Amino acid sequence: MGKGSVTDYHDLASLGEDIRRHILSNLGNDLYPPDPFRYFSGLAYAVRDRLIRMWLATQTAYYDSMSKRVYYLSMEFLPGRFLMNAIINMGMEQGCRETVTDLGFSLDDLAEEERDAGLGNGGLGRLASCYMDSIATCGIPGCGYGILYDYGLFHQTIVNGWQEEQADNWRRHGSPWVIDRMEHLYEVRFHGRSEAYADDKGNLRYRWADADTVMAMPCDILLPGHGGGHVTSMRLWAAASSQEFSLRDFNQGDFVGAMQAKILSENISKVLYPNDEPVAGKELRLKQQYFLVAATLRDIVRRHRKPGPAAFEGFADQVAIQLNDTHPTIAVAELMRILVDEEFLPWEDAWDICRETFAYTNHTVLPEALETWPMDLLGRVLPRHLEIIAEIDRRFQAEVAARHPGDDGKLARMAIIDRGSSRVRMAHLAIVGSHAVNGVARLHSDILRQHVFPDFDAFYPGKFTNVTNGVTPRRWLLQANPVLSALITEAIGPDWVRDLTELRRLAPLAEDAAFRQSWRAAKRDNKKRLARYVLRKAGLGINPDTLFDVQVKRMHEYKRQLLNVLHVVTLYNRLRRDPGLAVPPRTVLIGGKAAPGYFMAKRIIRLITAVAEKINADPAMRGRLRMLFLPNYCVSQAEKVIPAADLSQQISTAGMEASGTGNMKFALNGALTIGTLDGANIEIMQEVGEDNIFIFGLTADEVAAARTRGVDPRSRVRDDPELAEALDMIGRGFFAPDDPGLFTPVVESLLDRGDYYCVTADYRACLEAQDRVNALYLDPDAWSRKSILNTANMGFFSSDRAVMEYARNIWRIEPLKE
């Protein structure tokens, strides 16, 4: 694309004027009194003007190059805030700071006015957003597709120690970044029936009759890459009622009925489903998935045809579709429906196109998250799709049977439609309908091949691959940690921002005492910044001169926040017994949302707040141990917490965390990891070196063996007096004197229900690892050395590396040159 023009787009000279103009004529507001939210919005619109110009140029470059594009289909995106990210990536930070200062504000304060776009649950959505940043930065033609939920993941508050949920009405005050495109409405159908008919030539055809319809309206959010001038987009669909639908009832005089239908259809994009909630039987969730898929495929097909009447044979040379987890898998059946029922392609040709177009990323091995839909529900909502899936299954079973005659067990295990339960296994459909299937860390991909889908791996040699996750260095180091970024750039120059492996050049500086000193000073600055934030948000003072021990992520038993609590209670007991104990003073911070219906996760939050209350009120713990539950963990909070952490807790039961990406963000910011051999922790260990990480606990194989063997957790408790004491205190109400039975279920889950997550099994090893943490932290120079080596060796975990692997090996797309 025409370069040199990039700076023209930014046109900083008129920025102040543009901000005022947007406040006056776009927002219809006064300039006075100078309200920060108003000026934030004005600035956002002024930045957006510049983004739109760059985006149009990028689109032209895509069309001119006629290159293949990737479409990243995801039910979740978790971008957080947009303003600083856009400004920094566009190289406008300095200019913006000056302009905003002239207007009487600080840029950082204005940035705080923005509400997070929280359209995802956690790692899966955030990964999608990191990948958008890298797709734009690397110049890979393509964009994301998702849903514009009115309500993102709920807002969490802590009331009397319990989680409470509030609706996250994130667009309440407007959303400057969202561009509504009313001109491109598509109709999406549900219900009705599949109807067979004969065409002119007497061929048997199918059509979808008597369907209800909903309109899908595209809303674009533009995302600039760093430095290069490419701008990609997320196209998010919002549901609107279809005119024909309401008019039909209206003409019959049923105005209220018509309105009801309107409201019902608009419900489709109303709210994001929290994960870890049983989704089975939730018709609305299936409708959301199909809504995303149907609108997106229409849009892709429209674009494919735009240059002229394109043949579908060439479709997969122009289009790659990445299914982000199992959620959008109905796309396989929808593309078949379009090609066979609407474009009249022979089934075999359509099927080849499908498999060449789709690729599937699996993000979890938790069985409850591998979606299956009851046949009757699927048949009711998407009657023609059920027929198509049955036909795909029939042909697939014939293939399997031909290669493995008589092996009924294999047939039953591999079937897409599970005859026993009458459910459609969406993961099987995704595997059969894609040319590539990948896990998100090496261990996870191995587990997929060996334990979750071994029959498929044997049947399709080479189809299963791995792409280890990555995170964007722009948001997670450059933007979130300006102090450390400045220090790094001073030391090795700025190239690390677009080539993270450059960080390797920091390694020799680990031996430089002055550099270590500056490194510690940067960490201390970030800890002070976090302490101010915590005081403001939670009303609690924390001391930056203590070890910041952090675990922030969704609350789930497999992530083992409970093991963290058992360590804290044990440390508390040790300090009570021996006030002179030689351990560094520690501040334990835990944050994360629990799914609203997940009883145990919510009870564990209550346990954390109860233990924190007791410890923080104990005068003997002053200056030695503090604990805090951080309410409402979200992207913008992560940006403050991660740069301030000394110790990063990544302690999932081995084999259960597919990858983790928080683990990468912490280590990139110089935190040391205490963790299990799970997900990407293993690869982090290999990169940073075994001496620079605290690894403990059972391996994935040992967990599997322990589960088969069945170990009695009570015998472990008998053998370990500290564990016995901690569990006894929790179980008997030491932390809940007013309600002594409050935490009995938590202890019972360990002692009476088999301790599925191996908390008691890993307890002793965890404590020993924490002993090593304490010893090291008492030697600041030794700690800083390892901290520097962590950052220096995290280059592999850039999302640029990850999307380039996808582009080369899975999408087969070349990045555009700038």
Positions marked active-site: 363, 553-554, 559, 661, 665
Helices and strands counted in the chain (H then E): 34, 23
Sequence-distant (≥ 6) Cβ neighbours of residue 269 within 8 angstroms = 147, 148, 149, 150, 237, 238, 239, 288, 291
439 binding ligand NBG? (CB under 6 A) = no
Q: Which of residues 254-293 bind ligand NBG (CB under 6 A)?
A: none
Taking CB under 6 A as the binding criterion, the range among 411-419, 489-497, 656-664, 801-809 that sits at the site for ligand NBG is 656-664
Q: Which of residues 661-700 bind ligand NBG (CB under 6 A)?
A: 661, 679
803 binding ligand NBG? (CB under 6 A) = no
Structure tokens at 138: 């690397």
Q: Please, what is the minimum distance in Å from the beta carbon of residue 374 to ligand NBG?
A: 21
Sequence-distant (≥ 6) Cβ neighbours of residue 161 within 8 angstroms = 605, 606, 609, 610, 613
Q: By C-beta, is 124 or 487 nearer to ligand NBG? A: 124
Q: Please, what is the minimum distance in Å from the beta carbon of residue 588 to ligand NBG?
A: 22
| Burial 664-694, CB ≥16 within 10 A → b, else e | bbbbbbbbbbbbbbbbbbbbbbebbeeebbb
659 binding ligand NBG? (CB under 6 A) = yes
Query: What's the length of the chain?
Result: 818
* The binder of ligand NBG chosen from 141, 229, 660, 731 (CB under 6 A): 660
Taking CB under 6 A as the binding criterion, the range among 38-46, 58-66, 192-200, 363-371 that sits at the site for ligand NBG is 363-371
Q: Which of residues 35-64 bind ligand NBG (CB under 6 A)?
A: none
> Alpha-carbon distance 155 to 116, whole Å?
11
Q: By C-beta, is 655 or 679 nearer to ligand NBG? A: 679
Burial classification of residue 738, based on how many CB atoms lie within 10 Å of its CB (0-12 exposed, 13-18 middle, 19 or more buried): exposed
440 binding ligand NBG? (CB under 6 A) = yes
Sequence-distant (≥ 6) Cβ neighbours of residue 37 within 8 angstroms = 113, 173
> Alpha-carbon distance 509 to 499, whole Å?
19
Q: Please, what is the minimum distance in Å from the beta carbon of residue 451 to ligand NBG?
A: 16
Handedness of CA 406, 410, 414, 419 (dihedral sign): positive
CB 810 within 8 A of CB 467: yes
Beta strand 423-425 with 417-418: parallel, antiparallel or unpaired?
antiparallel
Q: Please, what is the minimum distance in Å from the beta carbon of residue 215 to ligand NBG?
A: 29
CB 524 within 8 A of CB 813: no
379 binding ligand NBG? (CB under 6 A) = no
Q: Which of residues 309-328 bind ligand NBG (CB under 6 A)?
A: 325
* Number of residues counted as binding ligand NBG (CB under 6 A): 16
- Site track for ligand NBG across 125-164, x = CB under 6 A: --x-------------------------------------
Q: Please, what is the minimum distance in Å from the beta carbon of residue 216 to ligand NBG?
A: 24
Sequence-distant (≥ 6) Cβ neighbours of residue 682 within 8 angstroms = 441, 442, 443
Q: Please, what is the minimum distance in Å from the beta carbon of residue 122 to ligand NBG?
A: 6
CB 201 within 8 A of CB 193: no
178 binding ligand NBG? (CB under 6 A) = no
> Alpha-carbon distance 195 to 383, whole Å?
10
Q: By C-beta, is 121 or 242 nearer to ligand NBG? A: 121
- Site track for ligand NBG across 102-131, x = CB under 6 A: --------------------xxx--x----
Q: Please, what is the minimum distance in Å from the beta carbon of residue 440 to ligand NBG?
A: 4
Burial classification of residue 580, based on how many CB atoms lie within 10 Å of its CB (0-12 exposed, 13-18 middle, 19 or more buried): exposed
Structure tokens at 722: 């500290």
Q: Please, what is the minimum distance in Å from the beta carbon of residue 299 to ligand NBG?
A: 25
- Site track for ligand NBG across 716-745, x = CB under 6 A: ------------------------------
438 binding ligand NBG? (CB under 6 A) = no
User: Of 521, 522, 525, nearest to 484 (Cα)?
Assistant: 522
Determine phi and psi for 425, rounding to 5 degrees.
-90, 105
- Site track for ligand NBG across 70-109, x = CB under 6 A: ----------------------------------------
Q: Please, what is the minimum distance in Å from the beta carbon of residue 681 to ligand NBG?
A: 10
Strand partners of residue 465: 438
Q: By C-beta, is 362 or 485 nearer to ligand NBG? A: 362
Q: Which of residues 469-528 bind ligand NBG (CB under 6 A)?
A: 469
Nearest residue to ligand NBG, scored by beta-carbon proximity: 123
Three-state SS for 66?
coil
* Residue type at position 785: R
Q: By C-beta, is 76 or 549 nearer to ligand NBG? A: 76
* The binder of ligand NBG chosen from 114, 557, 657, 687 (CB under 6 A): 657
658 binding ligand NBG? (CB under 6 A) = yes
Q: Please, what is the minimum distance in Å from the beta carbon of residue 367 to ligand NBG?
A: 12
369 binding ligand NBG? (CB under 6 A) = yes
Q: By C-beta, is 68 or 327 nearer to ligand NBG? A: 327
User: Of 141, 284, 150, 139, nearest to 219 (Cα)?
Assistant: 150
Taking CB under 6 A as the binding criterion, the range among 288-296, 455-463, 496-504, 651-659 that sits at the site for ligand NBG is 651-659
Q: By C-beta, is 234 or 747 nearer to ligand NBG? A: 234
* Residue type at position 215: M
> Alpha-carbon distance 447 to 269, whole Å?
34
Q: By C-beta, is 299 or 657 nearer to ligand NBG? A: 657
Q: By C-beta, is 150 or 325 nearer to ligand NBG? A: 325
Q: Please, what is the minimum distance in Å from the beta carbon of residue 370 to ligand NBG?
A: 10
> Alpha-carbon distance 456 to 360, whole Å?
14
Count CB atoms within 10 A of the CB of residue 725: 15
Alpha helices in 3-35 (DSSP H): 6-10, 15-21
| Alpha-carbon dihedral 273, 558, 281, 342, rounded to 10 degrees | 70
Q: Please, what is the minimum distance in Å from the beta carbon of residue 251 to ligand NBG?
A: 45
Beta strand 464-466 with 436-439: parallel, antiparallel or unpaired?
parallel
> Alpha-carbon distance 645 to 626, whole Å?
15
Count CB atoms within 10 A of the CB of residue 395: 14
Q: By C-beta, is 312 or 796 nearer to ligand NBG? A: 796
* Residue type at position 174: G
Q: Please, what is the minimum distance in Å from the beta carbon of residue 363 to ligand NBG?
A: 4
> Alpha-carbon distance 170 to 155, whole Å?
10
364 binding ligand NBG? (CB under 6 A) = yes
> Alpha-carbon distance 785 to 510, whole Å?
5
Taking CB under 6 A as the binding criterion, the range among 93-101, 281-289, 491-499, 654-662 that sits at the site for ligand NBG is 654-662
592 binding ligand NBG? (CB under 6 A) = no
CB 403 within 8 A of CB 458: no
- Site track for ligand NBG across 396-435, x = CB under 6 A: ----------------------------------------
Point out which residues bind ligand NBG (CB under 6 A).
Answer: 122-124, 127, 325, 363-364, 369, 440, 469, 657-661, 679
